[in-house]
Structure 1
């Protein structure tokens, strides 16, 4: 287990044949790392029952540098801070310690941007920022608290610049935006998602964030829902024609239709997607979306549509999908069976 972690697998690296001596040397080196990690782990865990000293804290730093996924050690590190360091520190000193902690986790994230426990520790640091010892000094502390959250938003934006689809960073961004003492305007966040999507239509996390912001703005009456929904459909059509095989775009389209897709919207979107399918006859996502919306019409508007005709069209699309996507053949057959059974009267 430890050797796998300590010697990470490298992808797209050409392998070279090693001599027996080289293999043996590598084996000894890995064994030494395993022994060092095991000894360090035992040393730290032996202190975890009530040792809140600086020495114990320093040992957690060493161990987490080797294995940042060792969540028990993150928990112990926080206990040392709460029960040891913070007890004897002034609010200014606590701020300084937390600043160091944020710097430490930032360094860890550069090497391990998708480790949950590092992101969790940053959350804890932000939530532990003191408000100040009294009413007179409280505004300055709150100002520092706000600046700490502002810095976090800047940090997470840099992380998303490096990897725009890192869902850990997107989740953390939502957390920061929700927790800021002085919230940022949601319209600004909507503009941020626009920039990310325009840079890469495949950024599902940005589409997901956009759906949350729009839902909130609509619920608060801060955005004309009908007008902005039409603008979203226009954005999606551009994305569909740019890359009709991009799953992220189609998933967002289904969400958007689901927010207010009556018969008129469903039929309009089916027609628009059919035009794209005529140009891209092998587009699986075009076919899947058309059949999805036609099935929705059959389910929700049965009294207003030609059920026989629509059912036949769905069956024909399923046959084409079976040929185009044989790995999911049984799924398409099951959907046809579901449609047939739906039309039968219950016994």
Structure 2
């Protein structure tokens, strides 16, 4: 009827989507063909460089194009060496535009290996890199998504470049974890900052214990707890106290496999000659085989080992 917008059917929408995808695919193939046909060791084609930017802006995971741009940068570096008056200034200008370009690509895929690796490579070849600015960029992206392990890795590379103190990074990690305990990347980053010793292992144990009690079903903190428990400076009494805490937690969360696994780790690292701990581990594995049927075979194997020692 007149005055009404025509609503496309699902088949029409599907056909239009396929047509659009085909257009993009054709443009991609034509662009790649153009770039590869002009790719040389001693010179580059400006149009091809621009085409590579257009493709990477919508798909920053095309490694071939990042490598192509690296080749162009290496040519620019050689050119700068020939120009003693303005060579470095021109090179810096070119590299700064390349750094800005990677930042344009990251919103399309903030977890792009190619984009982050290229950005760092450019900075390593920059005569006057602004590492402080990069550190601020990391904080910005981690505020948006604190699980982006690419940014955590990038941040770790920058720490040594800038000379950021250990206390600063530890505080930053604690801040992110307090916002979101369910953060594998932040827990892992924390484990890379220092080696646990008798002075700090107690604080780390308290922090991760708070996390597992807050959300017993979240696996990220449990993996960190296992790492902390592997430290030889934790004494038997502390492990026994934690085991008692888990007994209380189990009353609240009787079907949580992580609580039972935590008890397995603790009893396994206590006195293996004590039959009371071995017998309890046998019971734990039997329960895990029921609670976590996908890994039943693993628990059955553990159960056989435990039963041999009893």
- Is the shorter-chain TM-score for this pair beyond 0.5, marking a shared fold? yes
- Greater relative contact order: 1 or 2 (C-alpha under 8 angstroms, separation 6 or more)? 2
Cα shift readout 1:42-98 (whole Å, capped 9, x = no counterpart): 111112233424333222212322432110111111111111465146222222222
1:26-105 equivalences under 5 Å are 26-50=17-41, 51-84=43-76, 87-88=79-80, 90-105=87-102
Matched residue, 1:261:
234
Q: Distance in 1 between matches of 2:14 and 2:204?
A: 57
Cα shift readout 1:88-113 (whole Å, capped 9, x = no counterpart): 46222222222111111111111110
The secondary structure found in structure 2 opposite 1:201 is coil
Matched residue, 1:185:
165
- The reply on whether 1:169 has 2:151 as its aligned counterpart is yes
Aligned with residue 155 of structure 1, among 137, 143, 151: 137
Aligned with residue 281 of structure 2, among 314, 321, 333: 314
Q: For residues 212 and 256 of structure 1, do their structure 2 counterparts lie closer, same or farther at Cα, with a shift above 3 Å needed?
A: same
Normalising by structure 1, report the TM-score. 0.79
Q: Distance in 2 between matches of 1:212 and 1:120?
A: 20
Q: For residues 83 and 18 of structure 1, do their structure 2 counterparts lie closer, same or farther at Cα, with a shift above 3 Å needed?
A: same
Query: How many residue pairs were aligned?
Result: 297
Q: Distance in 2 between matches of 1:49 and 1:242?
A: 58
The secondary structure found in structure 2 opposite 1:64 is helix
Q: Distance in 2 between matches of 1:25 and 1:213?
A: 51
Q: Distance in 2 between matches of 1:214 and 1:67?
A: 37
Q: Distance in 2 between matches of 1:95 and 1:30?
A: 38
Tell me if the contact between 1:257 and 1:265 (Cα under 8 Å) persists in the aligned partners.
Answer: no
Q: Distance in 2 between matches of 1:104 and 1:83?
A: 18
Q: Distance in 1 between matches of 2:122 and 2:29?
A: 28
Matched residue, 1:4:
none
Matched residue, 1:323:
290
- The reply on whether 1:332 has 2:299 as its aligned counterpart is yes
Which consecutive residues of structure 1, in runs of 5 or more, have no partner in the other structure? Answer: 1-15, 131-143, 219-224
> How big is the shift at 1:21?
4.1
Matched residue, 1:11:
none
Q: For residues 250 and 24 of structure 1, do their structure 2 counterparts lie closer, same or farther at Cα, with a shift above 3 Å needed?
A: closer
Tell me if the contact between 2:57 and 2:104 (Cα under 8 Å) persists in the aligned partners.
Answer: no
Q: Distance in 1 between matches of 2:251 and 2:235?
A: 24
Which consecutive residues of structure 2, in runs of 5 or more, have no partner in the other structure? Answer: 1-6, 81-85
